[in-house]
Amino acid sequence: MTRYVPERHEPPSLAPDAALARSRRHLDTMRRRRSVRDFAPDPVPPELIEHALLVAGSAPSGANQQPWTFVVVRDDATKRRIRDAAEREEALLYRERASDEYLAAIEPIGTTASKPHLTDAPCLIAVFEQPWRWEENRKHKHYYVRESVGIAVGFLLTALHLAGLATLTHAPSPMGFLREILDRPENERPFLIVATGRPAPGAEVPVLEKNGLDEFAVFVDG
Please give the radius of gyration of the chain, using alpha carbons only, rounded to the nearest integer: 20
pLDDT of residue 113: 87
For the chain, what is the mean pLDDT? 94
Collapsing DSSP to helix, strand or coil, 134 comes out as: strand
Identify the DSSP state of 176: T
Residue 175 banded pLDDT, cuts 50, 70, 90: very high
The percentage of residues in the chain with a pLDDT greater than 90, rounded to a whole number, is 82
Q: Which residue has the higher pLDDT, 196 or 174?
A: 196
Question: What is the rounded average pLDDT of the residues 27-37?
Answer: 96
- Domains in the chain: ranges and CATH: 37-200 (3.40.109.10)
The order of strands in the sheet holding 123-129 is 68-73, 123-129, 189-197, 166-170
Q: Which residue has the higher pLDDT, 92 or 151?
A: 151
Please give the model's pTM, rounded to 2 decimal places. Answer: 0.93
First to last CA, the chain: 41
73 contacts 123 by C-beta, under 8 angstroms: yes
pLDDT higher than 80, residue 2: no
Q: Give bridge partners of residue 72 from the DSSP assignment.
A: 125
Q: What is the pLDDT of residues 181-191, one digit of tens each?
A: 999 999 999 99
Question: What is the rounded average pLDDT of the residues 172-181?
Answer: 92
Residue 1 banded pLDDT, cuts 50, 70, 90: low
Q: What is the pLDDT of residues 60-101, one digit of tens each?
A: 999 999 999 999 999 999 999 999 999 999 888 888 888 889
pLDDT higher than 90, residue 104: no
